[in-house]
Amino acid sequence: MMSVQQILQGESPELRQSSSPVTEFDQELDELLENLKDTLQANRGLGLSAPQVGVHKQVVVIDIGQGIEAFINPKIIASFGQVSEYESCLSFPDYTLKVSRPQRITVDAHDDQGHLVHIDATDLLARIICHEIDHLNGVLFFDHLSEEDLYSQLLENSFVTDAETESHDAPSPSDAVRSVKQEAIQKAVQEELQLSIDMLSELSWKLVLSLEILKDYEHLFSQTVDWDALRKATDTMDQTIATVQVCIDSNSTTDSSEER
């Protein structure tokens, strides 16, 4: 039975709460694990924690392409090295940020039967485990960045071109993270373009309307108004809106055809 849960989106007090350890390895836990796995799969995510679906228990599920693994009461007992890489979060789907994480970690956790397991994780797996354990402590990925760094990354993201992101396309474990990033950038660009033509459309009809009103009172003006230039301006605006709209439409069709 599929039971995809709603994932908490954006800053919410529930994502800031700490989760309690699991003590009963019972049917309730099994149901929570099923829900988390279904939700992770439905969202094609790499990792998901229980607090993201509003359950404050120390449970996370992770899928980096080798099947879904569950970690219960996970604790990092040792970490080595530092790597800065892109990551994203199902609770903040619009953001992909470069965050520094240990290159290798050793983790103690319980499996779904309550047995203690010992995991050695590196690179992408280590990164995702750290990200999900953070959720259990009410910590979000951008908490690792200074306000300045966060701001400059967000700005940089909105100006990165497709060509630049594609040049990083060497096969690596972080490909999944990169494709999430590329999607986020594309979405941000589309939104910005849409916003600009929405504003332009508003300007255009407001200009047309004000010209109509002004024309009625033309006889009151001491000097002549350049109606032709104003009319040309609305034509130019409409042309620009059409051009940008074609660009948005063609990008959104490439989007869906590229989906794997």
Strand partners, 48: 61
**Cα separation values, 137 from 17, 65, 71, 184, Å:** 7, 26, 15, 26
Between CA 189 and CA 163 the distance in angstroms is 14
Residue 181 CB, shortest distance to Zn ion, in Å, is 15
CB atoms within 10 A of CB 252: 12
CA 235-240-245 angle, 5° bins: 130
The residue at minimum Cβ distance from Zn ion is: 89
Residue 191 CB, shortest distance to Zn ion, in Å, is 22
Residue 236 CB, shortest distance to Zn ion, in Å, is 45
The closest alpha carbon to 249, from 192, 194, 198, 201, belongs to 194
Determine which residue in the list 29, 32, 89, 126 makes contact with Zn ion, applying CB under 5 A.
Answer: 89
- Active-site residue flag, 202: no
Residue 102 in contact with residue 126, Cβ under 8 Å?
A: yes
Residues 98-137 that bind Zn ion (CB under 5 A): none
70 touching Zn ion, by CB under 5 A: no
Residues 29-68 that bind Zn ion (CB under 5 A): none
Catalytic residue among 132, 148, 156, 191: 132
Our CB check for Zn ion shows the closer of 22 and 130 to be: 130
Our CB check for Zn ion shows the closer of 89 and 130 to be: 89
Q: Site residues (CB under 5 A) for Zn ion?
A: 89
Catalytic residues: 132
